[in-house]
Every structure is written in structure tokens, then in C-alpha cells.
Amino acid sequence: MVTDTGTLREQNLRLNEEVKRRTQQIAAINVVAATVGHSLDLDITFNTALQVVTRVVGAEAAGISLIDEARQEVVLRAQLGWMQDFVVSNPMRIPAGRGMSWEVINRDDAVVHNNLDEHENFAVPGFSKEHFRSIVMAPMHARGRIIGILSVMSHRANRFDDDLVDVVKSIADTVGVAIDNARLYEMHVEQENRLNAILHSTADGILTTDQSGHISLINYAATRMLDVTAGQVMGRPLRDAPIQPRVRDRLLLALESDASDSLKSFRVSLETGQELSVLVSSVQAPAQVQYQPLADSSVIVLRDITHLREAEIARVQFIQAAAHDMKNPLSVTQSSIHTLEGMIDHNDAMLREVITIARSGIHRLQRLIDDLLQIEKIESGYEFRLEDVDLREMCYEVSAGIKPLMDERRLGYTVHLDEHLPLTIRVDREWMQRALVNYLENAAKYNTTGSRVELRLYEDAQHLRIEVVDDGPGIPAWAQIRLFDRFYRVENRRDIRGSGLGLAIVKSVAEAHGGSVYVHSYEGSGSTFGMILPLHPEESLRAL
């Protein structure tokens, strides 16, 4: 019984010693983790890790090597307690497959030598002059891969038992994570500095907002365009920033969570006369810390297009002047043909045909000039004016003008206006009427006698849809993608006269109002030509 009690007491003492030793090891590892985690500066992390590991393990020297994957070498990056400088003056670089370093990497485990006698065949011969008798080298892991090696050395033989090796291995991984974090931070700082250099040297203005809608970045070009200083706007909510209301209000609309794509790209004229093109892009990021829902952060790009705007106006004015100059000789030619017509023998069929061809050619040239002028005016915004227009009145006015053509073509023409349509919409009345007339004239020209044409207006998801529907011959699928291009004519319908600009004008009018056009057609089943317009175009129309 006494023997059993003594044995039990001895076992308890050994167990207590083991627990105490393990506790000290864990405490040592925690000390390393806490110490090396204080800094994200790579050099400070190196030096701190070496000082702590030598103190915890009770060694005289230590070193940290990192893997150079590009050159397939292990490079000593930091050392402590060595006689020679293997970092700066005589860099220690060990090629792949050589020395104890690559043995550690290939085994992915610690390598221990407790009885070095200076006769070993080291990969770096000068290492033998350090007179180390014991060394343990452990792989440092970060994010599932080996990034380097932690080496701990002593001038005494048999210095590292299994327990100390386990401690070094644990410390190596702790240091590896700290080094990887510091390296990631360095890369982040480098990329941030490079990005800042790019942002502040570009001619485009760049503005960013964070998830709470505060301005987080503004470059030099943006401060000049918006006539502010960085200090006036940084950190402030966009809606309170002292920038021109024209820009701020349009940006706030674009940054709303349900804003359409048409609101995220627009032009705006400043009070100074500058013309800006603005593009707003959302940057989505998961909210891993904040629990309350936040909006996406945004990047806003501003481009000064004043010179383009001036060039557009100058181009329109030039074309107008050129068209005016062309109209004079056309008028003279037309008058001459009219005079000649009164002088010819009307019984001569050939002369009558020649006169008819000449008159038709002049008319087509006049129409082409007029259409070109209209497209230039629309796309440049020249003489483009918005006003509140009664939808029903506008449709009936257009219908009254197109009815004679429909009757001439013997087409059944109807108008359908949805009862939920708003009373008015803000558009340029003249250009919108011209777009509707072009759609209806197009339907009349390409439909055979006895067909049906319907003008249909209805509301769809905060947009106005205008459609011209017919049951004519339809359009081949291969031709539909180019119908709204300038001068495009479907090959098998070139017998019908036209400039090829009518649908291009409709497209330009729709886009000038922040909308778009479309066509749905099948051969033999008729066609639907449509236009989508925002019901509140003042929010999406480019400022002209």
C-alpha cells in the first residue's frame, strides 16, 4: 500500500511537471504571437520575432529565411547573434535542392542537428565559421503554404530536445503568419501609393463614396472641375458637400439603390459653362463587420467635354451653313426645271419622264439634307428644348397629320392610349413629334394595301412605351440589328424610296431623352417598332 502511494505521488509529480512545462511552452508561443503581431512593418516584425524566439528558447542566434519563388532560392532576410553579415554585405542565397534549407522545405518538417563539428558540407561554406554546434530549422507556414524557414542556433551541442523543437515549430508558424500579414500590408501600401499617383495625375476627375455615402476620395482633377478643395469635401456626406447643385443632385439620383443604368451616365452643364460627362459605378463589398444594411460604395468619374460640346455645336453650324449653300443651287435647279417644264412639248413622253426623274432627284436630295441636319441637331443637343407636353394632344395632332397618308395607302389606322397614362410628359415637342411621324411613315411605306397600323402608348415600370404596330410583311432577323443605323436599307426593299435616316432620327430622339428604341418583327407576321422613355426625363436627360 505504501509502495502504491509512493508510485502515485511520483506519477503526480511528473504529471505536474509536464503540465507546467507545457503551460510554459504555450505561454512562450503566446508571447511570440502577441509581440510579433504588434507591427505590420516587415523589418520590425523580423527583428522582433528573432529577439523573442531566442529569449524564449534560450538560444544564442536565430535567422529568418524566405522563399524566392521566382528564382527558386531560399534567401536569408534577417539574422540575430551571428558573427558575419549574411543579409546585406554577403547575402545568403541557397539554390533549390541544396543544403538543410531545402531539406526542410521538401520534408515540410523541422530538421535538427545537435552535434555539428564544422566539417559538414554546408551549402554556404562561410556558415561553418559561425561555430554553431546545434541548430533547429522549422518551416514557416501561412495560408496553407511554406513561405520560409525559422532557424535557431546554439554554440552548445545537444541543445534542442524534442520539446524545444515542438516549441520552435509552433513559433515558426506564428511568425510565418505575422510575416505574411506584414508582407500583405507592404503590398497594400505599395499598391495604394501607386494608385494615388495614378489618380492624382489623370486628367479625369475621380470621386469615391463609401457605403455610408460619405466622400472617401477626390483627386486633383475633380477638385478643379467642382471648384472645391479636398479638405472641404473629404469625409462629408455627398448630399452636404459644397459642390454645384446641378452635379450633386444628379449624382444623388444616380446613387440611389434602384437607379436605372440611364441615370448612372449623364452630361451636365456647370454654371461656369463647362460641360461634364459623368459615369457612376457601384462597388459591391460584403458587409462582414457591419450588421445594419448599407448601400454600395461608388466610384464617380468626371470628364471635361467642354471642347467636344463646342466642337459639336461648331459642326452643326458648319453643316447648317453647308446645307444652306446647297439649298440655293437646288432651288435654282428646281425653278429651272419648272420653267423648262412649261416650254416642252407635253406630248413627248420621253421629255416628261426626264423632267419627272429630275424633279424626284431634287426632292430626294432636299430630304436627305434636311434629315442630316436634324440628326446633327439632335445628337449635339443644339436647339433642344424641354417642355411639359400633353401626351393625348400630341398623339392626336400627329395622327391628324399622318391620316391622309394612311388613307392614300388604304391602311386601317387606330390610336390606343392606356387610361393610366400621365397627362403630361417633359419632352422636346417638335423632335418627339418628328420621331412619331417617322415611325408612322415607315409603317405606311412598307405595308401593303389593306394592312393595319396602330399607334399604342402605355406605361411600363415608370417608363412610357410608344409602339407602332403593323401586320405587314415583317423584317428578316438578320436585318433587324442594323435598322436604326444611318443610311441602312433592307436589301430586298430598296424599291421603296427613302434616305435611310428616318429610323436613325427616331433613335437619336429617344436617346436624347434618356430612352431607347427597339423592334420586334417576324417575316410574314408584322412588326412592332417601339420607343422607351422615362416618365421623369428631367432626372435622366443629359443637360443640354
- Render 501-530 in DSSP notation, one character per residue: -HHHHHHHHHHHTT-EEEEEE-TTS-EEEE
Answer whether residue 196 is part of any domain.
Answer: no
From the list 489, 535, 485, 541, the residue with the least C-alpha distance to 512 is 541
Residue 163 confidence (pLDDT) above 70: yes
Helices 502-512 and 349-380 sit at what angle, rounded to 10 degrees? 20
Q: pLDDT class for 175, splitting at 50, 70, 90?
A: confident
Look at residue 271 and tell me whether its pLDDT is greater than 90: no
Residue 216 in this model has a pLDDT that exceeds 70: yes
Residue among 132, 110, 108 at smallest CA distance from 120: 132
CA nearest neighbour of 165 among 114, 115, 112, 116: 112
Choose the final residue of a domain: 133, 161, 187: 187
Together in a domain, 314 and 447: no
Same domain, 512 and 420: yes
Tell me: do 175 and 287 sit in the same domain. Answer: no
pLDDT band, very low/low/confident/very high, at 193 (cuts 50, 70, 90): confident
Amino acid at 447: N
CATH label of the domain that carries residue 283: 3.30.450.20
Contact yes or no for 56/64 (Cβ under 8 A)? no
How many structural domains is the chain composed of? Answer: 4
Supply the pTM of this predicted model.
Answer: 0.48
Residue of 219, 199, 210, 164 lying closest to 53 (CA atoms): 164
pLDDT of 509 over the 50 cut:
yes
Do 105 and 226 lie in one domain? The reply is no
**Judgement on whether residues 271 and 337 belong to the same structural domain of the protein:** no
| CA gap 118, 95 in Å, rounded | 21
Q: What whole-number distance in Å separates Cα of residue 196 and Cα of residue 207?
A: 12
For residue 437, being part of any structural domain is answered with yes
Task: Tell me how far apart the alpha carbons of residues 128 and 135 are, in angstroms, rounded to a whole number.
Answer: 12
* Cα 449 from Cα 194, distance rounded (Å): 68
Q: What is the pLDDT of residues 26-73, one digit of tens each?
A: 666 666 666 655 666 778 878 888 888 888 888 999 999 999 988 999
Same domain, 542 and 486: yes
- Please state, for a pLDDT cut of 70, what percent of the chain lies above it: 79
Q: What share of the chain is helix, strand, coil (3-state, %, to 5)?
A: 50, 20, 30
Rg (CA), the chain: 41
pLDDT at 294 over 60: no
β-pairing, 463-470 vs 527-534, is antiparallel
| Domain hosting residue 509, numbered range | 384-544
DSSP for 376-391, please give it. Answer: HHHHHTTT---EEEEH
Are 488 and 535 members of one domain?
yes
- Judge contact between 395 and 432, C-beta under 8 A: no
54 in the same domain as 31: yes
C-alpha cell at 371: 434629315
Specify if 71 maps to a domain: yes
- Residue range 466-508, pLDDT digits in tens: 999 988 888 887 777 778 876 676 655 545 555 567 788 888 8
Are 80 and 113 members of one domain? Answer: yes
Pairing of strands 516-521, 452-460: unpaired
Among 337, 352, 383, which residue terminates a domain?
383
DSSP string computed for 224-240: HHHT--HHHHTTSBGGG
pLDDT for res 258: 67
| Pair (424, 508) in one structural domain | yes
pLDDT band at 84 (very low <50, low <70, confident <90, very high): very high
Looking at residue 311, its amino acid is A
Compute the distance between CA of residue 235 and CA of residue 146 in angstroms, rounded to an integer.
41
Give the CATH number of the domain where residue 12 resides: 3.30.450.40
CATH for 501: 3.30.565.10
For residue 192, tell me if it sits in a domain.
no
Q: Do 522 and 443 sit in the same domain of this protein?
A: yes
Answer whether residue 8 is part of any domain: yes
Q: Measured in whole angstroms, how far is the alpha carbon of residue 86 from the centre of its chain?
A: 47
Look at 198-212, 339-353, 388-402, 431-445 and tell me which has the smallest mean pLDDT: 339-353
Nearest Cα to 54, choosing from 32, 23, 24, 76? 32
Distance CA 503, CA 150 (A): 73
* Length of the chain in terms of residues written: 544
Residue 193 counted as domain residue: no
Residue whose cell numbers read 467642382 = 226
Spatial contact of 110 and 136, defined as CB atoms under 8 Å apart: yes
Segment 362-387, tens digit of pLDDT: 776 776 677 666 666 665 555 667 88
**Residue 221 is assigned to a structural domain of this protein:** yes
Supply the pLDDT for residue 68. Answer: 92
Is 88 found in the same domain as 43?
A: yes
In a domain, 194, yes or no: no
The domain boundary, picked from 256, 278, 304, lies at 304
